[in-house]
């Protein structure tokens, strides 16, 4: 078979250059299939996906740019999941799916997408589609799934090359430079390292530590009610609870990494590619009531959204200068139902039914990555909670014990916030209640 020919050559973004020097994680989307899994159909759909999405055919040969090839064939593998009991096999299928997100693509590979089908029983399968984080974000994962599940699809390629060039030209033009200036002024002096000490484990310092925590539905419903009353956002509540759980009473501004999809036009909305940015939010000192504090965080979120095209990499030097051992840095990623898979409905995939089940989270480079997922995929027993929290770090950064403690304290802080009147309760009182709880700092 002849080598695919070369197409467009595009400049790398700040985020791509950063990720090329990192650990090379993938973003994965999982699709649950009920009924017979037609392997020939899946291979054909994967080939159609590659043909339609130019970003997936990219080759990254240098830090400055990447080439988009005119063709290529993606890997497709099938695995039988063994084990005693249906639930155990299904749980193992999800564990294998999670491992797919940590298996990087080889340097210089193309296409940067692959699929693995895990068969837990004759009529129950999990299809895991993995794309390199250099060319796929959470928004793009939705598009990948839609392409795979659509019976009829326009074969025309999306506008990735044009959109990508436009993004880079904007960033280096007057409007982009003005946006960078605004965000740098907003984050100046905030502390990236929070006053939290890691507890590194023995063993491989790069080994990933990942933990999950489900918030009980009663607490989640109460938080949603209070968010509606306050005209706030669950991201702001999650950020405030994280600071409370990790630090307690916050007396100076803290920098928190998050991510925005940054799809501002119809053309961008239909493009598969890494168009998201690692954005820096500033959590202000805890003054006034809970509502005062959440309103301040909400204002910071809207200010960051205004300039969501600005890469966090261009803001880092404006943060408070600190030594490398001053504490831990944090990232908080929030996936609402429309991105988590919870809002998806079943579609036909040949003779079977299929539905989006989950999307993985790519690490941001922070010491601790935390995520909050609304309407997440069901557990192996079929129960679907309303809200799931997660935390990832490495043995050499936060370590297992500190990762578990931080996750637990984050959940405790959300429960405390759910149980108090936001309009009258001072933030200092919330911090005091949390500090007096078992496991408080």
Give SS3 for 255: strand
Integer Cα distance of 418 and 237 in angstroms: 10
Q: Are 388 and 214 in contact (CB under 8 A)?
A: yes
Q: What pLDDT does 3 receive?
A: 42
Strand 75-80, strand 113-121: pairing: parallel
Integer Cα distance of 310 and 171 in angstroms: 7
Q: Are 124 and 410 in contact (CB under 8 A)?
A: no
Q: Are 370 and 170 in contact (CB under 8 A)?
A: no
Q: Are 335 and 267 in contact (CB under 8 A)?
A: no
Q: Are 168 and 154 in contact (CB under 8 A)?
A: no
Integer Cα distance of 215 and 220 in angstroms: 7
Mean pLDDT by 10 residues, the chain (441 residues): 56 83 74 91 94 94 87 90 83 83 84 93 90 88 88 84 91 95 95 91 86 94 95 93 94 90 82 89 94 95 91 90 78 76 66 77 82 78 84 90 95 96 96 81 53
Q: Are 198 and 330 in contact (CB under 8 A)?
A: no
Q: What pLDDT does 262 receive?
A: 65
Specify the pTM.
0.86
Q: What pLDDT does 283 receive?
A: 95
> Which of 383, 381, 380, 343 is closest to 359 using CA atoms?
343
């Amino acid at each position: 078979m002849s080598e695919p020919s070369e197409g467009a050559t595009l400049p790398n973004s700040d985020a791509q250059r950063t990720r090329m020097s990192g650990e090379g994680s993938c973003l994965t989307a999982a699709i649950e299939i009920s009924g017979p899994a037609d392997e020939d159909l899946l291979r054909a759909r994967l080939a159609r996906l590659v043909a339609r999405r130019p970003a997936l055919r990219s080759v990254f040969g240098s830090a400055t740019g990447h080439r988009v090839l005119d063709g290529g064939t993606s890997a497709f593998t099938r695995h039988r999941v063994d084990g005693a009991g249906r639930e155990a096999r299904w749980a193992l299928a999800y564990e294998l799916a999670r491992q797919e997100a940590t298996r990087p693509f080889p340097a210089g590979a193309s296409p940067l997408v692959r699929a693995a089908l895990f068969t837990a029983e004759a009529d129950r399968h999990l299809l895991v589609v993995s794309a390199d984080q250099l060319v796929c974000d959470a928004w793009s994962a939705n598009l990948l799934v839609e392409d795979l599940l659509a019976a009829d699809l326009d074969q025309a390629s999306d506008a990735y090359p044009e959109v990508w060039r436009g993004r880079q030209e904007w960033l280096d033009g007057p409007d982009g430079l003005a946006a960078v200036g605004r965000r740098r002024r907003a984050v100046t002096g905030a502390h990236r390292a929070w006053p939290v000490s890691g507890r590194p484990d023995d063993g491989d310092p790069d080994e990933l530590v990942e933990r999950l925590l489900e918030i009980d539905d009663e607490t989640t419903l109460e938080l949603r009610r209070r968010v509606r009353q306050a005209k706030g956002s669950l991201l702001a509540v999650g950020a405030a609870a994280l600071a409370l759980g990790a630090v307690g009473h916050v007396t100076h501004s803290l920098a928190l990494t998050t991510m925005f999809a940054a799809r501002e036009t119809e053309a961008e909305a239909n493009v598969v590619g890494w168009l998201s940015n690692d954005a820096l939010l500033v959590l202000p000192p805890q003054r006034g009531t809970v509502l005062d504090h959440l309103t301040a965080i909400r204002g910071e979120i809207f200010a960051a959204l205004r300039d969501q095209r600005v890469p966090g990499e261009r803001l880092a030097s404006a943060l408070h200068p600190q030594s490398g051992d001053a504490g831990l840095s944090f990232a908080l990623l929030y996936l609402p139902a429309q991105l988590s898979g919870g809002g998806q409905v079943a579609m036909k995939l040949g003779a079977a039914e299929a539905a989006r089940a989950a999307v993985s989270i790519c690490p941001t480079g922070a010491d601790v990555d935390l995520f909050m997922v609304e309407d997440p995929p069901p557990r192996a027993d079929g129960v679907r909670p309303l809200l799931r929290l997660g935390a990832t770090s490495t043995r050499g950064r936060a370590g297992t014990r500190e990762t578990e403690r931080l996750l637990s304290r984050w959940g405790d802080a959300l429960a405390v916030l759910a149980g108090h009147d936001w309009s009258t309760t001072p933030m200092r009182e919330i911090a005091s209640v949390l500090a007096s709880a078992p496991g408080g700092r």
